[in-house]
Structure 1
């Protein structure tokens, strides 16, 4: 592949050469000094032209961007599109001047032409990258696109652009036709796939994540395998960045979103409430049947007074109708302190102003454990904001923890040193 061009300025090409010959330089020295002088002159002209065009284009783009309402042209200025476009004219001038500068060095001229062609490809890639970064920044300002993995798509286009650009550059340097070079490269596709394995996996994953709407920018996700618990700030071809709630950043491989399990809290954020699911562990030995005196005392608690009145009448009617011997409390139907407390918990949570009454609400027993009987509150706060949610849950359990002794129940906790010391003291 050759790039020989005609000399456009023959009278200039040898003007200095003839001058150097006339003042006594050898023919070889005259050629080198002629080439060096013309090269310096070309660089000077190109630098001046490049400076002028850059100033004109940047000022023109900036002034135009200020007058328009769209932000697209502002992003073009920010991503240096005018600056990169300004280099086109100096590059074209260099291509025109180079045959004149190297008129006596045909081999070097051929190499210089190849270098300029390669630089043309690089400049094209810079311009393409600037335009793609402009599109990325602009798309992120659009409401219907700001939560989409735009970075992944831009990176895919850039990868294709770089592959085509580098392939073209190598074809120019080696002298092979582009099609033939691509065909040769295809034979090494297995190696290419191995090298770009993570990129290919990331590309496929980003498409699946987008199509299935698994993750959006701004989603709160929890990914225990990678220690991530926070908001997604960036989704690109290779990684997903999560800003954790402790202000650290976790980077997750994009393909891990489809190969591993993670939790996305988006549906909770978009719902009408945030779940409260926490249990009080009641000591089993503190559970008992309630006596008439106990029931009368508990009727003083307003939230369950009507419930106790009704339940007491129902139980008494049943036991009399079935001639139940109540000398033993275990006979017939009875009220228990944990059952009444469970009703109180349910009534208290239902009356709380911050609880969504239209969603699931209950107080339930969980299977007994070695520590005791878990009495769980299952409800939804109407405020989904984290700090408010924590405050609501703490407010509810502050009250319930203080209410436990009123029902002659005890909560489980591991013994501390004071318990052991008291026990040892009693032995002595």
Structure 2
């Protein structure tokens, strides 16, 4: 401090001497004005010089040994911002000598300098926090954490503290007294900053409980949200729906309401397939030796049928634990045999994860028949691939069903009524279009009326190609 006084005293003497030589007389007022201007110029020049030195040294350090953190701080101009504290420090050290008779003006300048100095420090710290988070968020442990809201909260608290201290400096009151006085405006502040307060609480819960991450696929039932989270901040959560629209929702709506997060599916070993066809109960029947012999032509059924026939002859009944899932079907009925076929088909499918739950089951009968449901998990979780795998399975499901003498229930359409009328009128089925294959019997049947032509036999179905192993 003594050094500062000596420098200021010598500077004031030099200014007074210079003005006396120029004007030929002494003028304390002009001495102070020129001294004040000179102090401001010195503060700016010193700041510029130190800034150049600091930047030069930092760049030399980066050139030889610089990590991501140091490079990030330089890119964000943190060191440049810190050098802004030099001018107010110089002014606070040297300017008081020019204002002996005007303390009010001196206090105003000092208040502005202190507020500016604290502001530079706060905004420099906020910039450093942003750089730290930008670097560490790239790490695997932090990449999916919705910490952006927490960073914004910390930065907002620092700015709030700076505002309180700045006001206390201006009114020359203790910051604690100012904070105590703000209690009277708590109700107004809660109304004004309602979203920020709710967002703060929701952001803490989202972060601590790991409920939402960037990249999560979320669905809000009954709302317009069905897409991937692209940003989680203090006041908003941005979701890009699959139609590429952007939906912005407040974070507290994810805490107070129901949200479906598909992250568990993405992290698991498969994506669930659960669909069914409704079987017409009139087509369910006992298996005949002829039907079993015919279905032995299907490679994946041959061993199963022969094994079951051997067990029937020996009176052996398999239990679920030892049958590796093959008990999910029988050779007693065509529906049981079809269940066994679909189970074996799914077990050998190269895109189905056989380590997860896999079964073919019947649901409660309804007015339309007996639903037969496939329950399994696709090993490929990509949306496009998953839909393609599911479609291929159910296309095969629908196409192979008539081979077992089973038909799905389907409400009749206008074409069905027209075909029925044409058959009743005596038209040959070969002339019609849209009759399901396998509907006509393999053997020709005699037509009671001579006016009706013979019904041609439907050619036997082609053998089912084998499924390539995994």
TM-score category by the smaller chain? Answer: 0.7 to 0.9
Question: 1:238 aligns to what SS in structure 2?
Answer: coil
**Preserved contact between residue 273 and residue 374 of structure 2 (Cα < 8 Å):** yes
2:71 aligned partner: 74
Q: 1:139 aligned to 136, 141, 146, which one?
A: 136
Question: 2:143 aligns to what SS in structure 1?
Answer: coil
Answer yes or no: is 1:115 the counterpart of 2:112: yes
The Cα shift of 1:157 comes to: 1.8
Question: 1:224 aligns to what SS in structure 2?
Answer: coil
1:276 aligned partner: 273
Residues 53 and 394 of structure 1: CA distance in aligned 2, closer, same or farther (over 3 Å)? farther
1:329 aligned partner: none
The Cα shift of 1:259 comes to: 2.0
1:204 aligned partner: 201
The Cα shift of 1:370 comes to: 4.9
> 1:26-175 to 2 correspondence within 5 Å?
44-68=41-65, 70-96=67-93, 98-99=95-96, 106-175=103-172
> 1:24-423 to 2 correspondence within 5 Å?
44-68=41-65, 70-96=67-93, 98-99=95-96, 106-309=103-306, 335-413=332-410, 418-419=415-416
The worse-fitting range, judged by mean Cα deviation, of 415-424 and 51-60 is 415-424
The Cα shift of 1:168 comes to: 0.7
Residues 375 and 196 of structure 1: CA distance in aligned 2, closer, same or farther (over 3 Å)? same
Which runs of 5 or more structure 2 residues have no equivalent in the other structure?
316-329, 426-470
Q: Partners of 1:334 and 1:151 in 2: how far apart? A: 60
Q: Partners of 1:212 and 1:356 in 2: how far apart? A: 30
The Cα shift of 1:116 comes to: 1.9
Q: Partners of 1:334 and 1:381 in 2: how far apart? A: 28
TM-score (normalised: structure 2): 0.72
1:173-222 per-position Cα deviation (integer Å, ceiling 9, x unaligned): 22222232222123433433443333333333333333333334444333
The worse-fitting range, judged by mean Cα deviation, of 227-236 and 252-261 is 227-236
Question: 1:154 aligns to what SS in structure 2?
Answer: helix
Higher RCO, 1 vs 2 (CA within 8 Å, ≥6 residues apart): 1
Question: 2:166 aligns to what SS in structure 1?
Answer: helix
**Preserved contact between residue 269 and residue 379 of structure 2 (Cα < 8 Å):** yes
The Cα shift of 1:349 comes to: 0.7
The Cα shift of 1:45 comes to: 4.2
RMSD value over aligned CA atoms? 3.9
The worse-fitting range, judged by mean Cα deviation, of 56-65 and 305-314 is 305-314
Q: Partners of 1:57 and 1:314 in 2: how far apart? A: 88
TM-score (normalised: structure 1): 0.78
1:323-379 per-position Cα deviation (integer Å, ceiling 9, x unaligned): xxxxxxxxxx99443333222211111111222222211011223345543321111
Q: Partners of 1:302 and 1:289 in 2: how far apart? A: 21
1:102-161 per-position Cα deviation (integer Å, ceiling 9, x unaligned): 677543333222222221222122111112112212321333333333323322222221
Q: Partners of 2:398 and 2:98 in 1: how far apart? A: 91
The Cα shift of 1:37 comes to: 6.0
Which runs of 5 or more structure 1 residues have no equivalent in the other structure?
319-332
1:11 aligned partner: 13
The Cα shift of 1:225 comes to: 4.9
The Cα shift of 1:169 comes to: 0.8
**Preserved contact between residue 16 and residue 34 of structure 1 (Cα < 8 Å):** no
Equivalent pairs, count: 405
